[in-house]
Amino acid sequence: MVSCLGQHNYMKIEHSKGIGESIKRLEDKRFLQGQGHYIDDLQLPDMLHAAVLRSPYAHATITNIDVDFALEQPGVVTILTFADLHSVKPIPIRLNPYGSLEPFLQYPLANKRVRYVGDPVALIIAHSRYQAEDVLDNIVVQYDPLPVNIDAEDKVSCPLHHDAKDNVASNFVQQKGDVVEAFNKAEHITKLRFTSGRHSGVPLETRGLIANYDATQEKLKVWGPTKVTHFNRGVLAHMLEMEEHTIEMIEPDVGGGFGVRGEFYPEDYLIPYAALMLKRPVKWIEDRLENLMACNHSREQIYEMEMALKKDGTILGIKVLLSNDQGGYIRTHGIIVPELSAAIFPGPYRIPNYRCEVRSVLTNKTPAGTYRAPGRYECNSSRERLLDLAASELMIDPVKIRSMNLIQPEDMPYEVGTESLGENIVYDSGDYPFALQEVVRLSKYEENRHVDHDNLSNKKVGYGIACFVEKTGLGPFEGARIEIDQTGAITVSTGAANVGQGLETTLAQIASSVLTVSPDSIQVLHGDTDLIPYGVGSFASRATVMAGSAVYYAAQKIRKKLLKIAAHTMNCQVEQLIISDGDICMIDHQDKRLTLTQVAQQSSPRNCPPDIEPGLDFTHYFRCNQMTFAHGATIVKVEIDITTCAIVPKHVWIVYDIGKAINPQMVKGQIEGGAVQGLGGALLEEFNYDPSGQLTSGSFVDYLLPTTTETPLLESKRLDRSPSTLNPIQVKGAGECGIAGIGGALANAVADALGDSGNNVNVLPITPEKVWQWLMPMQDKTN
């Protein structure tokens, strides 16, 4: 194991291949040829099918469940309710419990009380999916409705959980400096209430799971998209009271994750439980309605902000009251989303005095969790809108107020004064002013903004800016194993998961850069708990940083052993050899060489020198508890038709710095794909609830996703000025940089286009209806 806090061995590599090259994604070949293997593609003999009965009420007491008639229907094998789950435990928290959250955890099936529309009440097992779903209406559940709370700012009424006096799951404060003194000295105070609307990742492929108990091996096998296979195996073993080694968790190909999929949901217990009980394979595939009402929601936060400034725009301090809508239960993320919001709210700016009070409140809505850039999309949008409002009030250019308050390169490493996941937030490296300058230059902001503002037609144009810092490379460790067999074939195995980000390509490129072979000659295996004893998974832009570093060190170990075996075979010193194009050759006589296959054969117990352990198989665990921070700046250009109030994003520019890029083209795809997702959350996507807690946007008719029609021209530029000093490959995560600044930049662009009415912009998503309200004179709003 190597810690990120130690010295890294940056090995000199001859004829390096892999790192920094924009090769085509290795996994795409099988996808393009229709050879991807997703969860619904898996068929097992004698397999049963499951369906979940979900609550139609947002808040109610279950007084009786009658399954007798349903059990008599054709094809039905069994029906499970909470009473059938013997000694079942609640689903535990994966990330950073903050205080006691035990009373608010979710059980796999509702125990006498439901707390959101979609809460699982019963599990039906039948011979076919059609039979299982048809019998849902034959189960008779008697509900006694209770008062409903859908307001995160109403923390007192209608307590959702018996053991709690109110609905505040957690209340905590992040602070630094003396906020009271800062506001006493303020020459100007800007106030803003900003709301981030509820939406989610909505992957193309819905959730699913297959479980089968193999009696001959005494092993439970579970297939399903999961970004954290080892954690989920541990949770399942704990809840089923089994040993972890008797469970194998397998992740097939995944049709998108985005943070919402791959956590441990109720179904991740129910399906294996049924398979164990019935000793037959059981399959469950989620439909789209279930996905929209039961998969984690995210983003819903309300910020009450005040900023103390000097008249020249220098920020003296900020205070925030953050209300986070947690939904009906605390799921595996705990309250990490609002904690990240509070910790990262200062962003790339020098804020000497800061206080953020967080209230994470339970409501009768689908439980909330993480979605790409969780907590940061929301806090970045709020903070950047606050900055533009302050600039407007002080009549300062939006670029200037940012430039004068940005953290400078010479301040690095910069201690923010907040903490998250038990660690102090310390920005390791970055040139924030340069990123802002570059996005202004790239977009020709100064010239184009004034030209477009002179347009007096019914279409108004606006430009909005947002700067961001993005946490990446979350620890504490990740593992990788590299094996070279007797034929010279190279296999990399890891505990990280491929959730669509191109992990197989990235890890192959890193290994190839050390071993100087072609990346497509390396097989990368992942998402199976039997491959490697320990793993953490893929989330928080960590896979390349953590798993990539583990691969790098494991490849170094393999490389050293290859050279040692080759030196013995060639009767020379290791220092006389290099590895070039996968062959080991002498520096002074490069015609004298051994192929990788020849050296691999010499590593066998029969041929290996007596002073060298046989085999070419190394496992390495890279440890690092300090996150590495990417950064960037975003500008959005919008056009608003003031007759229809339609908002059209016309152009997006993003400048970002992620240190060294393993595959620049893949990074570009991540940045621009994230930007489009961010536009969806800023303009289109929102889960709406009526007063009774019914989800009114439970289909793609009402829940709108961005398509190519709504996608503007995207330009992105990668900087390479701030390599990470915390890992040997000098990388920072890239997956969340594209989305991090989009909400704030879009909101500021709309405000810019609306002119005097722009100061009213205080919410995402921004819809034509909201634009109309902001444009209308106050006396006409009631009309």
pLDDT given for residue 15 in this prediction:
41
Q: How confident is the model at residue 778 (pLDDT cuts 50, 70, 90)?
A: very low
Q: 188 pLDDT band (50/70/90 cuts)?
A: very high
Confidence of residue 421 (pLDDT cuts 50, 70, 90): confident
Mean pLDDT along residues 467-485: 97
How far is 371 from 554, CA to CA, in rounded Å? 32
Q: Note the pLDDT of residue 731.
A: 98
What distance in Å separates the CA atoms of residue 380 and residue 391, rounded to the nearest whole number? Answer: 16
Q: What is the pLDDT of residue 2?
A: 45
Backbone angles phi, psi at 400, to 5 degrees: -65, -45
- Is the CB of residue 727 less than 8 Å from the CB of residue 8? yes
Please state the φ and ψ torsions of residue 679, each to the nearest 5 degrees: -65, -35
692 Cα distance to chain centroid:
31
pLDDT computed for residue 482 by the predictor: 98
120, 488, 548 from 617: Cα distances, Å: 45, 12, 17
Query: Domains in the chain and their CATH numbers?
Result: 2-36+475-623 (3.30.365.10), 40-146+206-253+261-294 (3.90.1170.50), 301-473+626-780 (3.30.365.10)
**Residue 409: partners with Cβ closer than 8 Å, 6 or more residues away:** 430, 431, 432, 433, 434
Q: What is the DSSP string of 503-567?
A: HHHHHHHHHHHHHTS-GGGEEEE-SBTTTSS----S-TT-IIIIIHHHHHHHHHHHHHHHHHHHH
pLDDT at 97 over 60: no
Counting residues of the chain whose pLDDT is more than 70, the rounded percentage is 96
Q: Would you say 192 and 252 are in contact if contact means Cβ atoms under 8 Å apart?
A: no
Q: Is the peptide bond before 765 cis (omega within 30 degrees of 0)?
A: yes
Predicted confidence (pLDDT) at residue 196 exceeds the cutoff of 70: yes
Within 10 angstroms of residue 776's Cβ, the number of other Cβ atoms is 14
Give the pLDDT of residue 552. 98
What pLDDT sits at residue 42?
96
Q: φ and ψ at 382, to 5 degrees?
A: -65, -50
Q: Is 412 exposed, middle or buried (0-12, 13-18, 19+ CB in 10 A)?
A: middle
Pick from 57, 123, 53, 64: nearest CA to 88: 123
220 CB neighbour count, 10 Å cutoff: 22
How many degrees, rounded to 5, is the angle at CA 691 between CA 687 and CA 693?
A: 55
pLDDT band at 362 (very low <50, low <70, confident <90, very high): very high
Strands 522-525 and 490-494: parallel
- pLDDT category at 99 given cuts 50, 70, 90 is low
Helix/strand/coil percent split, the chain, to 5: 30, 25, 45
- Could you tell me the pTM of the whole model? 0.95
Cβ contacts of residue 264 below 8 Å, gap of 6+? 91, 94, 228, 231, 232, 235, 236, 332
Per-residue pLDDT reduced to its tens digit, 236-294: 999 999 999 999 999 999 999 999 988 999 999 999 999 999 999 999 999 999 999 99
Measuring CA to CA, which residue among 667, 581, 700 is closest to residue 202? 700
| 172 in Cβ contact with 98 (< 8 Å) | yes
Q: Is the pLDDT of residue 186 over 60?
A: yes
Helix (H, G, I), strand (E, B) or coil at 304: strand
Q: Give me 115's structure tokens.
A: 């707390």
- The pLDDT value recorded for residue 14 is 44
φ and ψ of 302, to 5 deg: -125, 125
Strand partners, 630: 470
Whether 128 shows a pLDDT value over 80: the answer reads yes
Enumerate residues 6+ apart whose C-beta is below 8 A from 365. Answer: 58, 116, 150, 198, 297, 300, 325, 327, 328, 687, 689, 693, 695
pLDDT at 301 over 70: yes
Beta bridge partners, 423, equal: 420
Q: Average of pLDDT values for 760-780?
A: 87
Q: Are 706 and 677 contacting, i.e. CB atoms less than 8 angstroms apart?
A: yes
Among the listed ranges 78-82, 150-154, 700-704, which one has the minimum average pLDDT value? 150-154
- What does the pLDDT look like over 4-29, one tens digit per residue? 644 455 444 444 458 999 999 999 99
Q: What is the pLDDT of residue 294?
A: 97
β pairing state of 219-223 and 247-250: parallel
Q: Tell me the average pLDDT across 433-437.
A: 99
Strand arrangement of the beta sheet that strand 577-580 belongs to: 577-580, 583-586, 593-594
Q: Which tens digit of pLDDT belongs to each residue from 712-748?
A: 999 999 999 999 999 999 999 999 999 999 999 999 9
Res. 780 pLDDT band, cuts 50 70 90: low
Longest dimension (CA), the chain: 93
DSSP state letter for 644: T
Question: 150 or 96, which is more confident?
Answer: 150
Which sign does the torsion angle of CA 89, 93, 94, 100 carry?
Answer: negative
Distance CA(514)–CA(596), nearest Å, equals: 13
Average pLDDT across the chain, whole number = 94
pLDDT of residue 452: 66
DSSP per-residue codes, 207-275: PEEEEEEETTTTEEEEE---S-HHHHHHHHHHHHT--GGGEEEE----S--TTTSSS--THHHHHHHHH
